[in-house]
Every structure is written in structure tokens, then in C-alpha cells.
Amino acid sequence: MAISTRSFTVNGKTYTPPARPVVVICLDGSADEYLDITLAHDRMPNLKQMTLAGYRGMVRGALPSFTNVNNSSIVTGVTPAVHGICGNFFFDTDKQEEVMMNSAAYLRSETILAAAANAGRKVAVVTAKEKLRDILSHKMTGIAFSAEKANQAQEATHGIGNVESVLGLPTPAIYSADASLFVLRAGVALIEKGMADFLYLSLTDYMQHTYAPEDGPSLAFYEAIDHELGRLLAAGAVIGATADHGMNAKQKADGTPNVLYIETMLTEKFGDGFRVICPITDPYVKHHGALGSYVAVHVPENVSEGDVAAWLQAQPGITEVHNRDMAVHLLEQPADRIADLVVLSARDVVVGRTPAHHDLTALDSGLRSHGGRYEEMVPLLISHPLTPAYRSKAGGDPRNFDVFDFTVNGTTLN
Amino acid sequence: MAISTRSFTVNGKTYTPPARPVVVICLDGSADEYLDITLAHDRMPNLKQMTLAGYRGMVRGALPSFTNVNNSSIVTGVTPAVHGICGNFFFDTDKQEEVMMNSAAYLRSETILAAAANAGRKVAVVTAKEKLRDILSHKMTGIAFSAEKANQAQEATHGIGNVESVLGLPTPAIYSADASLFVLRAGVALIEKGMADFLYLSLTDYMQHTYAPEDGPSLAFYEAIDHELGRLLAAGAVIGATADHGMNAKQKADGTPNVLYIETMLTEKFGDGFRVICPITDPYVKHHGALGSYVAVHVPENVSEGDVAAWLQAQPGITEVHNRDMAVHLLEQPADRIADLVVLSARDVVVGRTPAHHDLTALDSGLRSHGGRYEEMVPLLISHPLTPAYRSKAGGDPRNFDVFDFTVNGTTLN
């Protein structure tokens, strides 16, 4: 059956896919330095070829620079203000409960994936972490499963069963390079078997949290990613790749984590009643200990929000403090799901709640993390030449969540 | 005569140079993308070799991300708060005059270059733009001249005369690739002739203001830079290279400049009396029309500074507004040389004064500029392996003005 090229419109943007497999990849945690160093070692020949034949540049991600936020933006093409996912974790004021924000119940926008399926594409979503599957497959007809729980996928609920035998891939450990490589290999297999022609492949950043760009395991990881890019290109795919966020070491000179415990600091200064939410919090303990460079602060009623903001802004290591209105205006946040204040920290600093809230013993190495302004800029790679209009767009202020637009609409394949 | 390895201390840091030529290069306006694309074309083999043998990573520049600010930081190793140079141009409240800030009279710190000369090194400064020469050669015994006025250098005042015949290099046009390449070629010649063993080579960003990273003339320019890096390495130099700032297109979708004229906007909103200073202003009209992503605002006495700040912060395209205290705290500014407010703009937006203050007809292409947060992160390259201590430092929050420290103290040559 021919691949559908029927246009579809979602969240105000029209997509007209080419008659070949479309693959968008979220290279979770891929600060540009990871590509730079591995390329210098001549270990990413396919990425190099994509750069030469297509496009490589930098794009601005959504804030906070976290996984769920940016994956949601990528599959919807809109900001967190529109789609509503502003963290992995938040304080639901309706429920008066701190909850994971990994349910599609919190998603306020249609996805490009669901719309593509409705327009006749065979859509597949493969994500490393199970936590993302529900959001990414929202209202979507097609295949959606995670590397983490690949062996639990069922035809009725995931659009595919017996993944291990059908695709010839064993379910990987989640804290591994294989968790991400599985996602890419599954993508290749789905295309080769004619099971999908419109794919979103979302990796995990365990490797980037654990290794610096020049570390041997990281070089080997990116080389292995590149090998799968080559197989996707050989299968005729047009590929768009970006990242949800960058990654920086967040350590002191002695190698210990560089943490500001914001709830502790505020309680000491202003008294009890503060609630600090770390929206990086997720079920994966070996990545970051729930420490990132962005927290949300609920200020008790008897304390002046302005006083708290001014005091926080003057603390070393804090780079930005915004009240709700400014977080909506400057950071594209949904007003009803953020706290009174949001706080961003420096390139080498993370913000946390209290020492008791963060278990750093599970980390496999020093602390590397993200969430703030210094992990906002990420690479964009497109495998095929951009049209003049999209080349011009790339020269403005393109976003990582324009990646479907660039990949589907932006190349000379159209 | 043997090369001196005597230690020297300046601005609180001790430098112990190796017994070989030390060359620090400021690749003016070199956003990392310029390196990425040229490397993908296999046109920077020496930079690639430096990455493999030494170090390549990202470092944080000084703000505002302008040339004089960052060159001053690089040669002193300290922030603008310490050395006092916070723009190319400012309103001198003592003189009640708007003046260029390119005189060493404004520099408040000793330089590494002068200290190296005092410790017995043969120091040479070569800068593309004459505007930097006075600051960079402050109290320095040695050679200091610009590409722009190479043929006017005199032994008595510049430490070298007859540059064209001594070095075999013609004085280049300032609006050219050659203006920068001359600087590197002069550095090679000075080492080869035994005239210098401790060099600071500061290029100009005419090419980056004029061309995007993937444009043919830019690729050829970086290839030519790489050729000179190879000659410096062949001459036995240890090389540290960084940039003063990055570079972004600042245009609307139709290719016209994306400008907010802040003094015009404030006058319309709050009335007369505002003075907006564009610290990017310099004598070179073809680069940017005095439009960058950072301006300083002097607020008239009858208007509330807080009201102005709040209003500005809410305008689309404005990303940060800080009063004097916060500009000192967050942006490392000298309190007595900035205005009441400083204003930063978005990746694709520049801020100006009034339309009459900016002549854009001289630009050789669309508007590409810098000055704000999105031009803060720049590459750092070191030609030789870093020691474990400096590798650790590179993994923290290193600055572009640590480049002398990394190059002189940080490699296994020491």
C-alpha cells in the first residue's frame, strides 16, 4: 500500500508528509557537545552526512528543560502554555496532591501523531521510558510501546504484541545504553517490516546523566545511535532529530553535588508553610535524584511573595525568579499548573527541596542534570535539504518542537 | 634565549607558563555552529586534532556579550565588575557624555599580558580592530598592533615598525576575512621569527555578522583559520581558543531586522527624558548598525524606575530587565558604569535607541548580531591534554576568560 501523503492540520499547523517514512527522534539529554566530541572521533558518519546533505543547527527548547515538557511540545508542536504539561511532577491544586504529570489526562492538545494516523499514516511511537507512553499515544491509532516494558505490550492496548519476537529485540534494562538503542532499533524494524511509516522515537538520558561527552561509554553510545541513523536512512526515511534538553555537570570543585535546598532555605528565612516542587521528579532514581535547575515554590499566605522573590533572586546560584504572570509570559507556562514562583539556577547548580527529599546514593556517577536556562538550547538535525523557506525559518528562532514541521514540511522532498 | 617559565600573579591568579610559545586566540563572534558546520565539511583538520588531543567544550562568556567586554575579561581573567569595561560605548556620568569605552583609562585591572612581559616573556598582541589595541596593550612591554592599522605601527609606540615588510604581510581591509586572518598570520610570523613567545590574537567578527555558518564564504574563512592553527601548532605553540560572544540572526521572517527601539517605546509610553545607550556601538558601521541584544536605560527622575522595568519586562521580545543592583549581582556589571536599567532581548531580537540612531543601510547582508543571553555560551578549545584538575574545572562552569588559565596552567605540558 502506498504511503499516504494526505495533509492534516493540528494545533493550527498543517502537515503534508512526503511519500516515505518520516522519523522524528528525541535524543533525550543530547547537549550539542555530545555530538561535537563523537563527531570529532569520526564515530558518527551518518550524522555528519545528515549535516552535509541536510541541516544542523541549534534550536530553543521549551522550559523548564525537562523530558515530559519537551516531549509533549514536540508531539503537539506547541508550548507548555498550550499543551499543559509543565513538568514530570506537580502540585495539583484541585486534588491538593503532588502527582506525576505523565497521564494524558493532563494533556490539553491534540498530537501530531494522532492526526497523522487519522490522515492514513501508519504511526508508531517507541519511547524508552514507560512514563511517556500515555501522553505520546494520546487518542492515537497505531503502535505505542516503551523499551522499558516492551515485553508487556499487547496488541489490544499497544497496537503490537510479542514485541521481542516480532521485532527480534529483547527488552532492555532501563538504566542502560540499550534502553535508548532499543528504541531506534525498534524503529528500524517497524519500517523494514512495513508496520509503520510515521514514527516518533524518544530515547532516555540515563547515559548523559551518567557520562560526560568525552567519556568512553558516551562515545560508544553515540556511535551506536549513529549506526541506527544509518539504517533508518537506508530504509528510505526522512529523519528529524532534536533533544528535549541539554545536560550540564552540577557539581562543586570537589565533585560533590552543587545543591541549593530551596524549601530548607525559605523555611529558615521566612518560617514554615512553603511547598517546593521539583518538577524533574520521576520514577527513575539513578538519573538525577530529583535534582534539576528549576523548581516551583508555593508561598504561604502569610508571607509576601515579592519579598520571597527578591530574597531568592539575590542568592548566589539562583539565576531567575519569576512570579506566575512572568512565568506565563516569559517561560510559556500554563498559569493554573505552576506555583506562585518559579526558580531557575546556574549552569553548575541544581535546586532541590530539603536534603531529606533527595536520595543521591542511587546515582551511578557525579551529578549531571538539566531543567534550567543552560539546558535550553539543543541541536536540530534534518536528514534532507531544507527548502529556502525553512532554511530561513532555521535562521530565526526555531524551536525544538518545530521538529515535525521541519521534517514533514521543510525538506525538498515535498 | 630560553623561553621564560617564571610564574607571575595577576588579579589573584598565578600563571606558570610552559617553555614553549603560548597563544591565546579570541575567535570573535564564533558561535559554536560555525565550528560544527565547517568541521562537518572536513575543512578544519587542525581544530579536529586539537579536539582529539586536547579539549573542546562550551564556556560562559561575560555579559553583555560584546567584544570589548569579553576581550577585557580574557586578558585580565576577571569579570566586568572588576575590570570595569562593560561595553564598547557608555554614558560617562562624570563627563555627562556618551563616549567610546576603548581607552585603557577605563580599565581597572592589570592584564595577564603585561604581567607575562614583566615575568620575562616576549609578549605580542595582535588585534584586528584598532579599537581594542589600547586596552589590550595597557602597561605592557612588547609588541601590540592592529591589522586595521598595521602599516602605521611604530617601534617606539607599538614595539614593532615596518610590519608589512618585517612580517611579509600587507595591511588588510577591515571589512574582510583577511582582517582576521592577518592577525593569525602575524602571530605565526612573530613566533617563527623569535619575536614573541606569549601571544594574544584577537580577530574580528565582520564575517560572522555577514554570513551564516553554512554560507560558503564562512566555510572558507574557518578553513583558512584552521590552516593558521596548523602553522601555530607546527611552530610548537600551545593554543587556547575561545570567543568573545556568539552570533544569531536578528531578523523577521521577511528578512528585515527585528528591532525594538527602546528609547522610542519609552518616550511614547512614559514621556521625554529617557537616554538609551547601545553599548555595542563602535566605529565599524558594516557589522551591526549599533544594534545588539542589550541596552542600558537611564530613567528620568520624574518616572518610576520600577514601573519602567515592569513595563519593559512585559514587552514581547524582551527577555530580561534588571536594575542596577541586579545587574551587578547577576550580570557582573560595574555599578558606577551602567545605567538605571539594563535590558536584554531574545535570540532573534535586537534592541536599539530610536530609528534615527541606527543606520542599517551600510550592512553587507541581513542583520546578525549579539549582546544578550543567547550569545553568552561560546566554545573553548585547548590544543593539548588537560590535567585532571583542569578537566574537572572544564566540567563545572568555566568561563571564556579562564582561557589563559587553561592554556598556561591547565595542560599536561606543565
**ipTM > 0.90?**
yes
pLDDT digits (tens, 9 = 90+) for A360-380: 887 777 899 999 999 999 999
Distance between CA atoms of B317 and A399, rounded to whole angstroms? Answer: 15
**pLDDT value for B1:** 61
Contacts of B194 (CB under 8 A, 6+ apart): B122
In terms of CATH, what superfamily is A259-369?
Domain 2, Phosphonoacetate Hydrolase (3.30.1360.110)
Smallest Cα–Cα separation from A375: which of A349, A338, A406, A357?
A349
Distance between CA atoms of A192 and A228, rounded to whole angstroms? Answer: 13
Judge: A395–B212 Cβ closer than 8 Å, yes or no.
Answer: yes
Chain B contact for A393, CB < 8 A? yes
Residues of chain B with pLDDT under 70: 1, 285
Give the chain A residue nearest B40 (alpha carbons): A48
Cell numbers found for residue A242: 532534536
Chain A contact for B348, CB < 8 A? yes
Q: Are B351 and B294 in contact (CB under 8 A)?
A: yes
Tell me how many residue pairs between chain A and chain B have CB atoms under 8 A apart. Answer: 81
Q: What percent of chain A has pLDDT over 70?
A: 99
Judge: B36–A36 Cβ closer than 8 Å, yes or no.
Answer: yes
pLDDT digits (tens, 9 = 90+) for A188-233: 999 999 999 999 999 999 999 999 999 999 999 999 999 999 999 9
Which residues of chain A lie closer than 8 angstroms to B251, CB-CB? 395-396
% helix, strand, coil for chain A, step of 5: 40, 20, 40
Distance between CA atoms of A187 and A167, rounded to whole angstroms? Answer: 9
Q: How many CB atoms lie within 10 A of CB A279?
A: 27
Q: Collapsing DSSP states into helix, strand and coil, what is residue A101? A: coil
**pLDDT value for B31:** 98
Chain A contact for B323, CB < 8 A? no
Chain B contact for A221, CB < 8 A? no
- Residue A384 pLDDT > 80, yes or no? yes
Q: Collapsing DSSP states into helix, strand and coil, what is residue A295? A: strand
- Residue A1 pLDDT > 70, yes or no? no
Q: How far apart are the first and last CA of chain A?
A: 20
Confidence class for position A253, pLDDT limits 50, 70, 90: confident
**pLDDT value for B88:** 87
State in words which class domain B8-93+102-246+376-409 has.
Answer: alpha beta
Chain A contact for B215, CB < 8 A? no
Judge: B319–A329 Cβ closer than 8 Å, yes or no.
Answer: no
CA quadruple B85, B90, B91, B92: dihedral positive or negative?
positive
Chain B contact for A40, CB < 8 A? yes
Chain B contact for A346, CB < 8 A? yes
Stretch A257-269: mean pLDDT, rounded? 97
One-letter amino acid at B319 equals T
| C-alpha neighbours within 13 Å on the C-beta side of residue A109 | 26
CA quadruple B243, B391, B23, B100: dihedral positive or negative?
positive
Q: Which of A53-62, A264-273, B234-243, B365-374 has the lowest mean pLDDT?
A: B365-374
Every domain range in chain B assigned CATH 3.40.720.10: 8-93+102-246+376-409
Q: What percent of chain A has pLDDT over 90?
A: 90
Confidence class for position A255, pLDDT limits 50, 70, 90: confident
Shortest distance between the Cα of A40 and any Cα of chain B, in A, equals 6
pLDDT digits (tens, 9 = 90+) for A292-339: 999 999 999 999 999 999 999 999 999 999 999 999 999 999 999 999
Chain A contact for B330, CB < 8 A? yes
Average pLDDT of chain A to the nearest whole number? 95
Judge: A52–B40 Cβ closer than 8 Å, yes or no.
Answer: yes
Every domain range in chain A assigned CATH 3.30.1360.110: 259-369
pLDDT digits (tens, 9 = 90+) for A81-129: 999 999 988 898 888 998 888 899 999 999 999 999 999 999 999 999 9
Smallest Cα–Cα separation from A127: which of A111, A110, A106, A105?
A111
One-letter amino acid at B43 equals R
Inter-CA distances, B224 with B220, B229, B231, B368, Å: 6, 9, 11, 22
Pick the residue of A36, A52, A248, A405 with the most B CBs within 10 A to test the interface with B by mutation.
A36
Distance between CA atoms of B148 and A388, rounded to whole angstroms? Answer: 36
